[in-house]
């Protein structure tokens, strides 16, 4: 059974001294976003992020994941189209991560039409959701300090 939370993940790599981020064009809504998906029964939030990342991009679960402080909420009907967890569960949390994708070839799932590597400024312009923009901002700030 699907768990009442969502994960959002941005692959990153450093190229010529600048961080680049992979963003994905959703097949169904035709918007740019990070990798996202919900938890399965018995998974931790990190396990969900690793599974979703592998399923949607082919990036190994053994890659380096960074859990971000960014957490957002969203209406359950925006995620599943219905009150999946009962009539009294109105919103779920979305937990955000970055994943090191240096030297990795991304393999798209059928959830996305395309992906591209972009710098932070371009990502901020292309991403649809404010929560994605906040998460990638935090990831960019963290990576600049490494």
On whether the CB atoms of residues 31 and 111 are closer than 8 A, the answer is: no
On whether the CB atoms of residues 99 and 11 are closer than 8 A, the answer is: yes
Closest CA to 23 of 117, 108, 112: 117
| Per-residue model confidence as pLDDT tens digits over 122-138 | 999 999 999 999 999 99
| Per-residue model confidence as pLDDT tens digits over 31-57 | 999 999 999 999 999 999 999 999 999
User: Residue 79 pLDDT > 90, yes or no?
Assistant: no
Top CATH class, 2-144:
alpha beta
- In this prediction, residue 120 carries a pLDDT of 98
Q: Is the pTM of this model over 0.85?
A: yes
- In this prediction, residue 125 carries a pLDDT of 98
What residue segments make up the domains of the chain, in order of their start?
A: 2-144
- In this prediction, residue 80 carries a pLDDT of 86
On whether the CB atoms of residues 48 and 7 are closer than 8 A, the answer is: yes
């Amino acid at each position: 059974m699907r768990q009442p939370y969502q994960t959002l993940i941005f692959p990153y790599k450093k190229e010529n001294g600048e961080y680049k981020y992979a963003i994905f064009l959703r097949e169904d809504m035709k918007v740019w976003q990070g990798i996202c998906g919900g938890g399965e029964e018995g998974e931790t939030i990190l396990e969900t992020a690793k599974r979703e990342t592998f399923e949607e991009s082919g990036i190994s679960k053994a890659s380096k994941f960074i859990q971000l402080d960014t957490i957002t909420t969203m209406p359950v009907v925006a995620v599943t189209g219905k009150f999946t967890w009962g009539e009294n569960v109105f919103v779920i949390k979305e937990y955000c991560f970055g994943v090191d994708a240096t030297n990795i070839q991304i393999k798209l799932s059928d959830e996305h039409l395309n992906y591209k590597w972009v710098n932070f400024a371009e990502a901020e312009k292309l991403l649809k959701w404010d929560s994605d923009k906040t998460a990638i901002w935090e990831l960019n700030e963290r990576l600049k300090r490494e």
